[in-house]
Amino acid sequence: MIKDPPILRISRNFPRPPNDVVKALTGAMTGHLVDAMGGGGALDWQIKALGGGPQSFCGVAVTCDCGPSDNLALFGALDVVKPGDVIVAATRSHRAASVTGDLLVGMARNCGAAAIVTDGVVRDVAGILAVGLPVCCAGVSPNSPVRNGPGTVGLPIVVGGVAIASGDIIVGDADGVVVVPQAIAADLVKRLVDVRAAEALLEAKVKSGLRIPDFIADVLSSPRVENID
């Protein structure tokens, strides 16, 4: 006879990045982070901050896999999250029922979470906005989930097309949400300096009247471009 699987599996002691690395990425623009990572790392464009609520955050990921129409794992994450962490809830992009409402979001705030990110939908918009915790989601539905499991907390997940492990760094702003893998976070801090400097230089040139940057002008005047009239 096959035994019933556990309704929840929790990994609590995952490795965490140094605090100074997290601090160095706090306030970074998501676009700059993506550029520093070679053009990727952002979650699906539909996952955005709930309208009118706070948008900017940075913290260590605590992952949970809720599955469709269930949020037991999200409640389990409340027992793992530390102040400043970002709870990331995978629902397999389920949109028929919400994964959280304002009360659970309030509990996450009370636990010290910096934000909640999910590929699912949420409900109780007015209440969530009143809580004041950034919530990034794919939409809104009043339908409610159950708390039956199975689910996981602290184990790898995929949200918005991006693989996420607990201990990665999650950064959000008005443009979206970016995942910084823990393994490259310290190096990314160094690369971010060059990206910011290049952006500042080009921005200054644009404000001074730049019409076409040199690197594009070089392409336009090269044999790789054929002028047909």
Q: What is the pLDDT of residues 30-61, one digit of tens each?
A: 999 999 999 999 999 999 999 887 889 999 99
pLDDT digits (tens, 9 = 90+) for 17-32: 999 999 999 999 999 9
What is the pLDDT at residue 55? 87
pTM: 0.94
What's at 218, amino acid-wise? D
Class of domain 8-189: alpha beta
Strand partners, 63: 88
At residue 84 the predicted structure's pLDDT band, cuts being 50, 70 and 90, is very high
Share of the chain above pLDDT 90, in %: 95
**CA–CA separation, 67 vs 167, rounded Å?**
21
Average pLDDT over residues 184-190: 96
Is the model more confident about 196 or about 55? 196
**CA–CA separation, 215 vs 203, rounded Å?**
15
What is the pLDDT at residue 51? 87
At 28, give phi and psi (nearest 5°): -70, 140
**CA–CA separation, 182 vs 195, rounded Å?**
19
| The pLDDT of residue 227 is above 80 | yes
Q: Answer yes or no: are the C-beta atoms of 170 and 179 closer than 8 Å.
A: yes
Smallest CA-to-CA distance from 105 within 94, 89, 119 is with 89
At residue 130 the predicted structure's pLDDT band, cuts being 50, 70 and 90, is very high
What is the pLDDT at residue 91? 97
